[in-house]
C-alpha cells in the first residue's frame, strides 16, 4: 500500500507556518535571494529614495534624546495592550456561542479590528523610534532614514498580503464546520488567536530592530 505523500516542512516565521498549516497549502522555497526579490518589489522612485538614504550624510537633529529605556517601556506596554486584546477577545472565548450560532462575519470584523490596531500602533512606534535615532548619531540617523524609506516602499505589499488573513481564516472556519467535529468552533477560536498573536510578533519585528539599534547607540555614546 502506497504511503501518502508527506507535506514538506514550511520554514520561516511562525506566522507564515501557521497560515500554511491552516490553509493546507505547500509553500515552495523562495526561488530568489532576498536582494533579488527586494529588487523586484522596488520601483525606480523607491530605489532612488533608498539609494539616497544609504548614500546621504544626514544631519543629526538637535534636542534631547529620549532614553532608550523609556521608549522600550512604551513599546512593551503597547505590545501588552495588543496581546491582551487578542487573548481576551470575547469572540475567541470558549462557550460564547454554540456551533449552530457561529457566524464568521463577526469573526472577520474582529480580525480586521485587531489588524488595524496592530498597524496603527506599530506605525506610531516606528515613527517615535526613528525620531530618537535621528537625534542620536549620524549612523543612527541614516538608519532612521533607511527605515522610513523601507516602510513606505514595503507597506503596500505588506498590507496586501496581510489583508488575505481574514479570507484564509474563513476557509479554515468553513472547513472545520463542514468536518462536523464536536469541538470544531473551539478549535477555530484557538487557531484564529494563534494567527493574530503570530501576526503581532511579525509586525513588531521592525520596532524591535529599531529599538535594539537605539539601545546600542545610547550605550556606546
Higher pLDDT, 167 or 68: 167
- First vs last C-alpha separation in the chain: 68
Cβ neighbours of residue 137 under 8 Å, at least 6 residues apart?
A: 60, 217, 221
For residues 149 and 37, the model is more confident at 149
The pLDDT confidence band at residue 43, using thresholds 50, 70 and 90, is low
Q: What are the tens digits of pLDDT across the range 158-203?
A: 899 899 999 999 999 999 999 988 889 999 999 999 999 999 999 9
Q: Residues near 201 by Cβ (< 8 Å), separated by ≥ 6? A: 13, 14, 15
pLDDT at 27 exceeding the cut of 60: no
What SS3 state is found at 179?
A: helix
Q: How far is CA 125 from CA 121, 129, 186, 188, in A?
A: 6, 6, 34, 31
Of 163, 169, 139, residue with least CA distance to 21:
169
Task: Please report the pLDDT score of residue 119 as a whole number.
Answer: 96
How does 73-95 read in b/e, with b if 16+ C-beta sit within 10 Å? ebbeebbeebeebbeebebbeee
Task: Label residue 8 by pLDDT band (50, 70, 90).
Answer: very low
- Per-residue pLDDT tens over the stretch 79-92: 999 999 999 999 99
- pLDDT tens-digit map of 128-147: 999 999 988 888 888 998 89
105 vs 99, 108, 109, 164, 188, CA distance in Å?
Answer: 14, 5, 6, 15, 14
Q: Which residue has the cell 462575519?
A: 105
CB 173 within 8 A of CB 104: yes
So what's the pLDDT on residue 26?
53
pLDDT of residue 103: 87
Q: What is the DSSP letter of 12?
A: S
- Name the pTM for this structure: 0.80
State the chain's mean pLDDT as an integer.
81
Is CATH 1.20.120 correct for 43-51+65-220?
yes
Better-scored residue on pLDDT, 18 or 119: 119
Tell me which of 56 and 157 has the higher pLDDT: 157
Q: How far is 156 from 192, CA to CA, in rounded Å?
A: 24
What is the residue whose three cell numbers read 489588524?
Answer: 115
Residue 60 has pLDDT above 60, yes or no: no
Nearest to 42 by CA among 210, 204, 155: 155
pLDDT at 5 over 90: no
Number of H helices, E strands in the chain: 8, 0
Amino acid at each position: 500500500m502506497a504511503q501518502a505523500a508527506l507535506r514538506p516542512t514550511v520554514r520561516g516565521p511562525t506566522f507564515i507556518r501557521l497560515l500554511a498549516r491552516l490553509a493546507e497549502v505547500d509553500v515552495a522555497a523562495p526561488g530568489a535571494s532576498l536582494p533579488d526579490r527586494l529588487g523586484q518589489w522596488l520601483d525606480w522612485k523607491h530605489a532612488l529614495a533608498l539609494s539616497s538614504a544609504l548614500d546621504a550624510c544626514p544631519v543629526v537633529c538637535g534636542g534631547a534624546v529620549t532614553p532608550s529605556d523609556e521608549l522600550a517601556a512604551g513599546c512593551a506596554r503597547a505590545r501588552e495592550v495588543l496581546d491582551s486584546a487578542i487573548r481576551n477577545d470575547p469572540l475567541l472565548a470558549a462557550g460564547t456561542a454554540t456551533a449552530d450560532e457561529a457566524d464568521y462575519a463577526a469573526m472577520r470584523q474582529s480580525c480586521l479590528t485587531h489588524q488595524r490596531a496592530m498597524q496603527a500602533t506599530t506605525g506610531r512606534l516606528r515613527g517615535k523610534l526613528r525620531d530618537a535615532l535621528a537625534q542620536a548619531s549620524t549612523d543612527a540617523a541614516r538608519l532612521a532614514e533607511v527605515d522610513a524609506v523601507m516602510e513606505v516602499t514595503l507597506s503596500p505589499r505588506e498590507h496586501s498580503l496581510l489583508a488575505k488573513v481574514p479570507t484564509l481564516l474563513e476557509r479554515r472556519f468553513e472547513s472545520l464546520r463542514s468536518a462536523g467535529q464536536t469541538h470544531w468552533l473551539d478549535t477555530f477560536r484557538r487557531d484564529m488567536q494563534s494567527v493574530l498573536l503570530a501576526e503581532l510578533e511579525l509586525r513588531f519585528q521592525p520596532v524591535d530592530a529599531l529599538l535594539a539599534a537605539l539601545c546600542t547607540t545610547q550605550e556606546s555614546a
